[in-house]
Chain A
Amino acid sequence: MNLKRKLSSIAVALAVSAGAVQAQVSDGVIKIGVLNDMSGLYADLTGPGSVVAARMAVEDFGAAKKGMKVEIISADHQNKPDVGSTIARTWYDTDKVDVIVDVPTSSVALAVSQITRDKGKAFLVSGAATSDLTGKACSPNTIHWTYDTWMLANGTGNAIVKTGGDSWYFLTADYAFGHALERDTEAVVLKTGGKVLGKVRHPLSTQDFSSFLLQAQASKAKIIGLANAGGDTINSIKQAAEFGIVKGGQNLAGLLVFLTDVKALGLQTAQGLIFTETFYWDQNDASRAFAKRFSEQAPRNNYPTMIHAGVYSAVLHYLKAVEAIKSDDGTKVIAQMKKMPTDDPLFGKGSIRADGRKLHPALLVEVKKPAESKGPWDLYKIRTTLPAEQAFRPMSEGDCPLVK
């Protein structure tokens, strides 16, 4: 090889590698899109609080010091799959968004997960619940972070059946999330020897539950399982108290209850409720410090729900993965995130499975009596902690095509 040839091949090699350096992070900015319900019945448990959590993760990661440019944008999907899909497409196609986070409302999350896969981007789910996201609808571009319907059913369902609640009636929100939560809880109830006496499906965002509660009351089931969330759960619990359901000997199982729901109900109405969460602000010094910082920036100084904590933890791990492989290519980053163990102040050490399930312990909590509470956000007692490997559905049972 003569010198001229040698030089030109070196030049070509240099040009290629220079290209690779530029392509590390597309357009030089990592753009995070927080997509959730900013104005409807889920706005307090996700909403602007999730944007605060994402911002805190970027600060704590130290993006600015490391010379990484990170931008956060947000939008309101109004709990409508069509609205959510349009925003996700626009973000990926024209706004150069690299990763979408949060996305409560399972029907919207399933749609966004498919779009993310088609575009080869990354999707970190904190808000949505359906276990299908790591089951038959799993994707190499999606990680399901905070909780899911199987975990809620398993944690709460088991605990209740064990204390004698063996006959159930379901009050279910009529869309993907409610159906999944009902299905997963029913499986647990039947498996542990209980029976399901009936179910009724109510439209999302219902004001008056009295008619449904009356049907549940007539079923004589020991447990009325609330397979709904946010404002729907609040109104069901409140009106159940009014109709003397608990006094009449039936018990309520809130299958998905958030800190902000309990706060809105007040301890007088909510006391004694048992349910499963994966994060409570008053667990240890790190979670308390996070909650304090979060509350200073959050709307109305609210404390963080587990969804907010999940957004923080997911964004932090995402940025670590981008740093490690020096690329923001969606598929590659998700693969790297699964490879690296997770570690953050809120969920401790954990891992992400091949089907996209993030693993961490789950907490079975009970709402305090008014006399036991020492402050406006002192709402839960932690009854037991389920270790990560018991908290979530085993990968073999999920039917995820990626791991078959």
Chain B
Amino acid sequence: MTEIFGVPTQALFGQLLIGLINGSFYALLSLGLAVIFGLLNIINFTHGAQYMLGAFCAYFLLNKAGLGYWWSLAIAPLVVGAVGVLIERTMLKRLYRLDHLYGLLLTFGLALILQGLFQFGFGASGLPYPIPAELSGGRNLGFMFLPNYRAWVIVASLAVCLATWFVIEKTKLGSYLRAATENPQLVQAFGINVPRMIMLTYGFGVGLAALAGVMAAPIYQVSPRMGADLIIVVFAVVVIGGMGSILGSIVTGFGLGIVEGLTKVFYPEASNTVIFIIMAIVLMIKPAGLFGSQK
């Protein structure tokens, strides 16, 4: 069998695929962050907690209302998105004219409160959520056993990412959104309700986080800390991709998933750190990120 640095190529293919799966979550989460930052100029530190809320929402729908995974995919983003809209209307709205730091402090504080409440109510070990029957099992690809559910995660998140990119970059609605970030007064003068548009954008970004949460529930435990563990990495992804760049966050999300996957083979001890090392290097060479433009 051929080997690369002592690792059989077959095993390497498996690890690349695994990296891509983890990258799907990074991409989905960093996409939401990029949309929110790009259009609202808010660094949404509550994103991890909103991802966790999505997973808990799926858990409640299953155990209290008897609604399964597919219902959750549709309902959880709406519910958590609505909570996001509420947060935007009552709190975030007041911060737009202030320094980034205030938005960061508010959202970070909210994240801590949400996590604390859920930890108090449900404990640290988390709650089990089964893989939907339609997607249980898996297939042997020759070089690895691929669970059907993981295959679905890649496909679904790619589809969502591309659709979001298309809407924002290629449609009329998207051009309104981008124009509203550049010059809200002017866009408002054309008769477009900018505050409502911003509110819905935040709701959408939050909904993306919740969607990622529902998709994560069957793989990881539904636990209060699931978002806190992930959010720092996702922020690194956004920074590397270029703050606010939609395409950047998608490409970097998948890319860094793969890099991390490979690190787990060649030097597993560094798998938690590698993304931050890359972030440091990228910031030194291209401070605006790989896909970012200097304003």
B149 touches A242 (CB 8 A): yes
Bound CA–CA A230/B131 (angstroms): 22
Cβ of B226 within 8 Å of any chain A Cβ, yes or no, is yes
Cβ contacts A342-373/B at 8 Å (1 or 0 each): 00000000000000000000000000000000
Cβ of B253 within 8 Å of any chain A Cβ, yes or no, is no
Nearest to A267 among chain B residues (CB) is: B128
Stretch at the interface among B74-82, B172-180, B242-250, B260-268: B260-268
Nearest to A205 among chain B residues (CB) is: B229
A218 touches B11 (CB 8 A): yes
The 5 tightest CB contacts between A and B, nearest first, are A264-B125, A43-B124, A211-B264, A203-B272, A266-B128
Residues of B within 8 A of A45 (CB): 125
Nearest to A42 among chain B residues (CB) is: B124
Cβ contacts B125-155/A at 8 Å (1 or 0 each): 1111011000001100000110101100000
Residues of A within 8 A of B126 (CB): 231, 234, 264
Of the listed residues B144, B268, B269, the one surrounded by the most CB atoms of chain A closer than 10 A to its CB is B268
Cβ of A272 within 8 Å of any chain B Cβ, yes or no, is no
B226 touches A207 (CB 8 A): yes
Bound CA–CA A200/B268 (angstroms): 7
Residues of A within 8 A of B221 (CB): 231, 234-235, 238, 264
A212 touches B264 (CB 8 A): yes
B124 touches A214 (CB 8 A): no
Nearest to A210 among chain B residues (CB) is: B18
A243 touches B145 (CB 8 A): yes
A265 touches B128 (CB 8 A): yes
Cβ of A387 within 8 Å of any chain B Cβ, yes or no, is no
Nearest to A213 among chain B residues (CB) is: B18
Evaluate whether A47 and B124 lie within 8 angstroms (CB atoms) in the complex, with A211-B18, A243-B138 already known.
yes
**Interface size range on B against A:** 35 or more
Can you name 20 A-B pairs with beta carbons within 8 Å? A40-B124, A207-B229, A208-B18, A208-B220, A210-B22, A211-B15, A215-B264, A217-B144, A231-B223, A238-B128, A239-B219, A243-B138, A243-B145, A244-B138, A244-B147, A248-B145, A260-B123, A264-B128, A268-B130, A299-B120
Residues of A within 8 A of B223 (CB): 231
Residues of B within 8 A of A263 (CB): 125
Of the listed residues A42, A244, A260, A265, the one surrounded by the most CB atoms of chain B closer than 10 A to its CB is A244
**B48 to chain A: closest CB distance in Å?**
12
B125 touches A261 (CB 8 A): yes
Nearest to B126 among chain A residues (CB) is: A264
Count of inter-chain pairs, beta carbons less than 8 A: 116
B261 touches A41 (CB 8 A): no
Bound CA–CA A261/B221 (angstroms): 11
**B118 to chain A: closest CB distance in Å?**
11
Residues of B within 8 A of A174 (CB): 268-269
B123 touches A302 (CB 8 A): yes
Cβ contacts B19-49/A at 8 Å (1 or 0 each): 1011000000000000000000000000000
Residues of B within 8 A of A214 (CB): 11, 14-15, 18, 144
Nearest to A261 among chain B residues (CB) is: B125
Cβ of A44 within 8 Å of any chain B Cβ, yes or no, is yes
Nearest to A230 among chain B residues (CB) is: B125
Residues of A within 8 A of B138 (CB): 242-244
Cβ contacts B256-291/A at 8 Å (1 or 0 each): 000001001100110110000000000000000000
**B260 to chain A: closest CB distance in Å?**
8
Residues of B within 8 A of A211 (CB): 15, 18-19, 261, 264-265, 271
**A170 to chain B: closest CB distance in Å?**
12
Residues of A within 8 A of B114 (CB): none
Residues of A within 8 A of B19 (CB): 211
Residues of B within 8 A of A42 (CB): 124
**B30 to chain A: closest CB distance in Å?**
16
Of the listed residues A203, A210, A264, the one surrounded by the most CB atoms of chain B closer than 10 A to its CB is A210
Cβ of A269 within 8 Å of any chain B Cβ, yes or no, is yes
**A386 to chain B: closest CB distance in Å?**
27
Of the listed residues A208, A234, A243, the one surrounded by the most CB atoms of chain B closer than 10 A to its CB is A208
Nearest to A238 among chain B residues (CB) is: B221
Evaluate whether A202 and B268 lie within 8 angstroms (CB atoms) in the complex, with A234-B221, A243-B147 already known.
yes
Residues of A within 8 A of B229 (CB): 205, 207
Evaluate whether A212 and B230 lie within 8 angstroms (CB atoms) in the complex, with A243-B138, A264-B125 already known.
no
Cβ of A404 within 8 Å of any chain B Cβ, yes or no, is no
**A43 to chain B: closest CB distance in Å?**
4
Residues of B within 8 A of A202 (CB): 264, 268, 271
Cβ of B181 within 8 Å of any chain A Cβ, yes or no, is no
B145 touches A217 (CB 8 A): yes
Cβ of A300 within 8 Å of any chain B Cβ, yes or no, is yes
B268 touches A299 (CB 8 A): no
Residues of A within 8 A of B11 (CB): 214-215, 218
Residues of A within 8 A of B264 (CB): 202, 211-212, 215
